[in-house]
Amino acid sequence: MTRPVRLLVVLSLAALVLAGCAAPAAPATSAPATAPAAAATEVPKATQAPTAVPKPKAITIQAGGGDPRSIDPQKAIDTREWYLLEQLFPPLLVLNTETHASEPGVAQSYDISADGKVYTFHLTEKVPWVRYNPSTKAVEQVTDDKGQVRYLKAQDFVYGFLRALDPKTGSPAAYMLAPYIAGAADYNAGKGSADQVAIKALDDNTLQITAPEKVGFALQIFGIINARAVPSWDVEQNGDAWTDPKNINCYGPFVLKDWTHEASMTYVKNPFWPGTKGIQKPALDEITFRFIDETVGLREFEAGTIDMTIVPGTEVLRVQADPKLGPQLKIVPGTCTNYYSFNVNQPPFNNVHIRRALTYAVDRDTLTKEVLAGGEIPAPFLTPPSINMAPAATDAVKDGIKYDPAKAKEELALGLKDLGLASADQLPQITVWLNNQPTSARTAQALQSMWQKELGIKVELLQIDAKVYWAKLEKESGQINMAGWCPDYNDANNYLRDIFRSDSIYNYGKYSNPKFDSLVDQARVESDPAKRLALYTEAEKLLCVEDAGIIMLNYASRAQVTNPRVKRTYSLTAIEHYWDWDVTN
């Protein structure tokens, strides 16, 4: 869901070392202003070896075209915004990028009550709030009006959670967080007060959250994108500008140094981050995120100006065959799903047979292998097989949507009969909304051709600037809309109930079926895994096949090339943890 300086701005080596290893300045009285003359001759010059200045560990990576909408934890939403802010404002518990296991983030440990409703998090102590000072070219600890270091406290998480839940904030993921904290749903709906939300700081380092009911995956909910501590003094003083480099206070393993809008962001290492089991002290001194698309990124990678980029699907075969680039390529199967949503309230897609016709007419094998060609996997159901409780990981996958031209024609005939039309030519004009990224265009053009070939249905394509596409969908919907989803947490609930329950803000096509709502509501709280899986399987069949509320396309993969000097992990969720990366200079 989702811009260009060509040269990495490099400070002097001494300044970079200072930025990566800054500590509070020594008192002015710790050394004399001038040294006695004799001191300079105590060691003969012949025995003095020059001090080697270590080369800073810095990388530059492609990070999508154009500015992120926000790195404010309570206002950001898409995958890129998540991984950008993750480095600055890590969560209570962090998901291991390769195993999906929960590991200590800011919380060093936690307790869950016997009834499964009360969660108590014990924060890592003495984690300071920090900022980058361009005048000193160093990361510095933030102090209060009395000159005391501001340390991250449980109250900062209370403030961040309540800010996310406050309907005035308009936090995009608040509806995911609200059901798992007692009193939060009413507050988020404008019916209750913040005082009734069951989150509180027991002391500076202990946070307690009480849920209204026992839910197995609730622990992961408390680490989603909007559930982060933020600095109340900074937010209240600077408003929306609090995330500007000159203002931003953060506490994570990296600190924002520069944001050149539409071009790049640069982070530097936070020398005050103490490290936890899940978030180690970073090895990298500096990261520059270049806001360029995949096509430009690959050119820059081949020119040696960036260290990592996503490879466009049209280039994967060439890159694989290249003797130099091939060994640097890795295709990582992910947990993101691509699909199209119908607006079920707009003709002709208020007719289920017309929706089914277009769905059965999509050849997903051809789309993934010949059009996209980046390792994508055809998707019969919404939830990817690697996600907990995914029907696609079981024998139930046989009941998912398939390419069936004969069935497509049969459904079209039924739909035309319902509408009193003699042929597909008499259907109202059909327009597909998509963003203007290259992969989106190739997908849309392929489907446009398939629908013309199999059904004689002509569709128009409307490309919308990627910077505004998703915001536009939140306000209005086309007849057919390009869509996709990457997980906030590892459970099928995040794909089915969080997106397609009738009241979800991400249900762009306004799909609504009381039976579907009932199935996903039951599955959310069901404790028996077999029963949960059966409920989600039935819900998937309803959404993807019977009601054809969406057109399933593929489970995304990420084809990436990385400079061999970079030692890295490969995230299944596309949320990279750069504190785990290193370089060999």
Q: Is residue 160 part of a domain?
A: yes
In this structure, are 573 and 514 located in the same domain? no
What does 341-410 look like in DSSP terms, one character per residue? EE-TTSTTTTSHHHHHHHHHT--HHHIIIIII-SS-EE-SSSS-TTSTT-GGGSGGGGGS----HHHHHH
In this structure, are 518 and 415 located in the same domain? yes
- What pLDDT is recorded for position 19? 35
pLDDT tens sequence across 439-477: 899 999 999 999 999 999 999 999 998 878 988 888 889
Return the CA Rg of the chain.
26
In this structure, are 207 and 183 located in the same domain? yes
* Inter-CA distances, 283 with 71, 140, 324, 498, Å: 23, 19, 27, 36
In this structure, are 268 and 366 located in the same domain? no
In this structure, are 350 and 210 located in the same domain? no
- What pLDDT is recorded for position 33? 33
Read off the CATH number of the domain in which 517 is found: 3.10.105.10
Q: Which tokens belong to 228?
A: 């982060």
What does 416-427 look like in DSSP terms, one character per residue? HHHHT-SSGGGS
In this structure, are 287 and 340 located in the same domain? no
In this structure, are 176 and 241 located in the same domain? yes
Q: How confident is the model at residue 375 (pLDDT cuts 50, 70, 90)?
A: confident
Q: What are phi and psi of 196, to 5 degrees?
A: -90, 0
Q: Report, as an integer, the average pLDDT of 14-22.
A: 34
In whole angstroms, give the CA distance from residue 578 to residue 87: 7
Q: Is residue 549 part of a domain?
A: yes
Identify the top-confidence range among 1-10, 41-50, 354-363, 503-512: 354-363
Instruction: Please give the helix or strand (H or E) that residue 518 lies within, else none.
Output: helix 514-525
For 114, residues 6+ apart whose C-beta sits below 8 A from its C-beta are: none
pLDDT of residue 484 exceeding 70, the answer is yes
pLDDT of residue 74 exceeding 90, the answer is yes
Q: Is 168 helix (H, G, I), strand (E, B) or coil?
A: coil
Q: Is residue 190 part of a domain?
A: yes
Question: SS in 3 state form for 317-349?
Answer: HHHHHCCCCHHHEEEEEEEEEEEEEECCCCCCC
pLDDT of residue 9 exceeding 70, the answer is no
- What pLDDT is recorded for position 17? 33
In this structure, are 488 and 428 located in the same domain? yes
pLDDT of residue 317 exceeding 50, the answer is yes
Q: Is residue 53 part of a domain?
A: no
Separation of CA 232 from chain center = 24
Q: Report how far apart the first and last C-alpha atoms of the chain are (Å, whole number).
A: 34
pLDDT of residue 20 exceeding 50, the answer is no
pLDDT tens sequence across 95-121: 888 888 889 999 999 999 999 999 999
- What pLDDT is recorded for position 321? 96
What does 127-163 look like in DSSP terms, one character per residue? -B-EEEETTTTEEEE-B-TTSPBPBP-HHHHHHHHHH
Higher confidence at residue 450 or residue 44? 450
Q: Is residue 50 part of a domain?
A: no
Q: Is residue 272 part of a domain?
A: yes
What does 400-457 look like in DSSP terms, one character per residue? S----HHHHHHHHHHHHHHHT-SSGGGSPPEEEEEES-HHHHHHHHHHHHHHHHHH--
Average pLDDT, the chain: 90
Task: Lowest mean pLDDT of 147-151, 175-179, 332-336, name the range.
Answer: 332-336
In which domain, by residue range, is 188 found? 58-295+563-583
In this structure, are 283 and 432 located in the same domain? no
* Inter-CA distances, 14 with 57, 257, 526, 554, 583, Å: 13, 16, 58, 48, 19
The fraction of the chain above a pLDDT of 70, given in percent, is 91
Q: How confident is the model at residue 297 (pLDDT cuts 50, 70, 90)?
A: very high
Q: Is residue 5 part of a domain?
A: no
Q: How confident is the model at residue 29 (pLDDT cuts 50, 70, 90)?
A: very low
How many domains would you assign to the chain? 2
- What pLDDT is recorded for position 40? 37
In this structure, are 551 and 568 located in the same domain? no
- What pLDDT is recorded for position 50? 62
Task: Lowest mean pLDDT of 91-105, 130-144, 237-251, 545-559, name the range.
Answer: 91-105
pLDDT of residue 34 exceeding 50, the answer is no
pLDDT of residue 22 exceeding 50, the answer is no
Nearest to 440 by CA among 64, 71, 69: 64
In this structure, are 62 and 197 located in the same domain? yes
In this structure, are 528 and 572 located in the same domain? no
Read off the CATH number of the domain in which 73 is found: 3.40.190.10
Q: Is residue 521 part of a domain?
A: yes
